[in-house]
Amino acid sequence: MEAKISIKDLTKVFYKKESRVTALEGISLDIADGEFVCLVGPSGCGKTTLLRILAELEKPSGGTFTIAKSKKERPLQSMVFQERGVIPWLTVEGNVSFGLKMRHLPADVIKERTAYYLNKVGLEKFAKLYPKELSGGMKQRVSIARAFANDPEILLMDEPFAALDEQNKFILQEELLNIWSETKKTVLFITHSIDEALLLSDRILLMSSQPGTIIDEKRIDLPRPRNMEQVRADPLMAEHFVEIWNHLQDEVQRSRK
Amino acid sequence: MKDGLRESMTDPLQMEKQEWKKRQMQHRLKQILTISSPIFIVLLWEFLSRTGLIDARFFPPPTEIIGTFWAMGMSGELFHHVGISLFRIFAGFLLGVIPAIVIGLLMGLYGPIRHFLSPLIMALMPIPTLALLPIIIILFGVGEVSKVVTIAGSVFFPVVINTVAGVVNIDRIYLDVAKNYGADSKQFFFKIALPGSLPVMLEGIQMGQAIALLTIVAAEMMGANSGIGYLIWTSYKAFLLKEMFVGLVLISFFGYLFSIILRGLQAKLLPWR
């Protein structure tokens, strides 16, 4: 099967007068259609830069990437941003339908899809509210609904749950998996949390600190649907956890030297 | 008997009701305090003026000012001055605010335009528009246009500067969201730049409103034969101080009215804040 996302030799250098920082170096990577991939790495390893390049918010310094298109009218990618990504002057409804409106879809399609995903994330009662009236978890639900409603080829998620408390995080992770299993979108997800990566991923990519390269990957074959108890109870997952933990420790130590 | 006693002593609902009543009382007291200070000053003024402790020629008692206000209102003289001043303020306000918003948004959105225009704005801003009145009169004559232009000029700067600041300070993440979800430049303008800069822009308009009022009075004092400023100035020169005070109170009233209207508009336009 052909890869959904294909990245070849991607490099990004941030250049300033006296300093140059190689954020990414020679990233090559294939992600299959419908695969859920988590990128895990120490802070400042260029994970977000990689995502922003795929989101076309940043230009690569070298290398190429392609996202396979299946339908002409589908946007290539949509991003679920870190907290604060919900636009405060649009209502919940306005935020969820944002991408659809930008693409000038017919009004009835916008209405139907917005209602569908509002219902999916349990926010139909809050459709007319402004984000200031929502909790952090509800805001991230808006963000997720906005991305899914846009029906892109792939979804990019930049630590969407990082700012949430543990309880909310678990709830949203399971909700995300529910919607994902229904749509079977290809997802590239950034996280700091090893638990989160184990719960969500088909495959975990481990990144090194500066310059960011992919140094290892782990396949997570735990059957779906999964929940946190299963992940915690599985001895193989425990082993993965420790390995990834050690890797992160090493990278953090290395970047300090 | 025993039950009855307990109820009257420690009924929690009753206690909360008492607390609530106490809070209501305090709230009412605060409201009374707020209206009492102006009333107190007016009463004091009346008393001092009536008893001759202050010179009633310079500070006529408020009741007499009210009488004068009534008489001027009945003769229609007052409406003429108020009407002409309000017309100048509104026309000047619109003539200043609309271009300021358009230019401010363009400057905020497009770096080259911002860099090109901002030195001009920075250089012109510190000059009081009133100091430019001679030039404005040379350009636009002594009629209504020159007054309207003077107001427009003084309203323009706070609005344009705040609009630019409003756009420039929109959180970058919203720009990323708009770009990621495929907003074209028109959608970006109306969905992101305009609403995102609106809170700061409205602060600028509020400031502009206050400046417009200052400017109109001064402009009418300098070169006009009608308007509230003219009324104040000519009354003073003819030593008709009651009439002068009527003019001053009117300015105060309109200043208050305009800021209430704008605050209402702000609440209406920014339901998301």
Instruction: Name the residue ranges covered by the structural domains of chain B.
Output: 2-50, 62-269
Residue B190: DSSP 8-state: I
CATH number corresponding to B62-269: 1.10.3720.10
* Residues 6+ away with beta carbon under 8 Å from A203: A35, A36, A37, A38, A217, A218, A219, A220
Q: Do residues A69 and A188 both lie within one domain?
A: yes
Answer positive or negative: Cα dihedral of A64, A67, A73, A77. Answer: negative
Residue B84 backbone dihedrals phi, psi, to 5 degrees = -65, -40
Q: How many CB atoms lie within 10 A of CB A74?
A: 14
Cross-chain Cβ contact A78/B181 below 8 Å: yes
pLDDT value for B250? 93
Spatial contact of A100 and A114, defined as CB atoms under 8 Å apart:
yes
Nearest CA in chain B to A85: B173
pLDDT value for B9? 60
Q: Of B112, B119, B105, which is closest to residue B170 (Cα–Cα)?
A: B105
Pure H helices in A9-82 = 47-54
Q: Do residues A94 and A202 both lie within one domain?
A: no
Residue A172 lies in a domain: no
Q: In which domain, by residue range, is A137 found?
A: 87-151
Q: Which residues of B touch A75 (CB under 8 A)?
A: 181-182
Residue among A76, A92, A102 with most chain B CBs within 10 A, to mutate: A102
Q: Of B192, B247, B240, which is closest to residue B218 (Cα–Cα)?
A: B247
Q: Of A153, A139, A41, which is closest to residue A84 (Cα–Cα)?
A: A139
Spatial contact of B264 and B86, defined as CB atoms under 8 Å apart:
no
Kindly state the tokens that stand for B238: 């003819």
Nearest CA in chain B to A148: B181
Mean pLDDT of A135-154: 94
pLDDT value for A255? 75
Q: How many domains does chain A have?
A: 2
User: What are the residues of chain B with a beta carbon less than 8 Å away from any beta carbon of chain A?
Assistant: 171, 173-174, 176-184, 187, 191-192, 195-196, 198, 270-273
Residue A227 lies in a domain: yes
Q: Do residues A104 and A56 both lie within one domain?
A: no
Q: Do residues A66 and A118 both lie within one domain?
A: no
pLDDT band at A105 (very low <50, low <70, confident <90, very high): very high
* A72 pLDDT above the threshold of 90: no
Cross-chain Cβ contact A88/B272 below 8 Å: yes
Q: Of A68, A146, A140, which is closest to residue A102 (Cα–Cα)?
A: A146
Q: Do residues A46 and A124 both lie within one domain?
A: no
pLDDT value for A17? 80
* Residues 6+ away with beta carbon under 8 Å from B257: none
Residue A128 lies in a domain: yes
Greatest distance between any 2 Cα atoms in chain B: 94
Whole-number Å distance between alpha carbons of B236 and B248 = 11
Q: Do residues A72 and A187 both lie within one domain?
A: yes
Whole-number Å distance between alpha carbons of B114 and B168 = 10
Kindly state the tokens that stand for B222: 């300098």
CB contacts < 8 A (A, B): 57
Q: Do residues A34 and A101 both lie within one domain?
A: no
pLDDT value for A186? 94
Residue A81 lies in a domain: no
Angle at A81 between CA A159 and CA A175, to 5 degrees: 65
Q: What is the mean pLDDT of chain A?
A: 91
Cross-chain Cβ contact B176/A88 below 8 Å: no
pLDDT value for A16? 83
Q: Do residues A160 and A239 both lie within one domain?
A: yes
Mean pLDDT of A159-186: 90
Question: What is the rounded (10 degree) CA torsion for A58, A59, A63, A67?
Answer: 60
What 3-state DSSP class applies to A161? coil
Residue A123 lies in a domain: yes
* Residues 6+ away with beta carbon under 8 Å from B182: A75, A99, A102, A103
pLDDT value for A46? 86
Q: Do residues A54 and A161 both lie within one domain?
A: yes
Whole-number Å distance between alpha carbons of B243 and B66 = 10
Q: Which residues of B touch A88 (CB under 8 A)?
A: 272
* A49 pLDDT above the threshold of 60: yes
User: What are the residues of chain A with a beta carbon less than 8 Å away from any beta carbon of chain B?
Assistant: 55-57, 75, 77-79, 81-82, 84-85, 87-91, 98-99, 101-103, 130-132, 146, 150
Q: Do residues A128 and A236 both lie within one domain?
A: no
Cross-chain Cβ contact A57/B179 below 8 Å: yes
Residue A202 lies in a domain: yes
Residue A188: DSSP 8-state: E
Answer positive or negative: Cα dihedral of B42, B47, B50, B54. Answer: negative
pLDDT value for A251? 83
Residues of chain B with pLDDT under 50: 1
Chain B: closest CA distance from residue A132 (Å): 7
Q: Do residues A72 and A189 both lie within one domain?
A: yes
Interval A230-252: pLDDT, tens: 888 999 999 999 999 998 888 88
Cross-chain Cβ contact A81/B173 below 8 Å: yes
Chain A: closest CA distance from residue B59 (Å): 51
CATH of the domain at A51: 3.40.50.300
Cross-chain Cβ contact B272/A131 below 8 Å: yes
pLDDT value for B8? 55
Residue A165 φ/ψ region, left for φ over 0, alpha for ψ in the -120 to 50 degree band, beta for the rest: beta
Chain A: closest CA distance from residue B267 (Å): 13
Kindly state the tokens that stand for B150: 């003077």
Q: Do residues A214 and A251 both lie within one domain?
A: yes
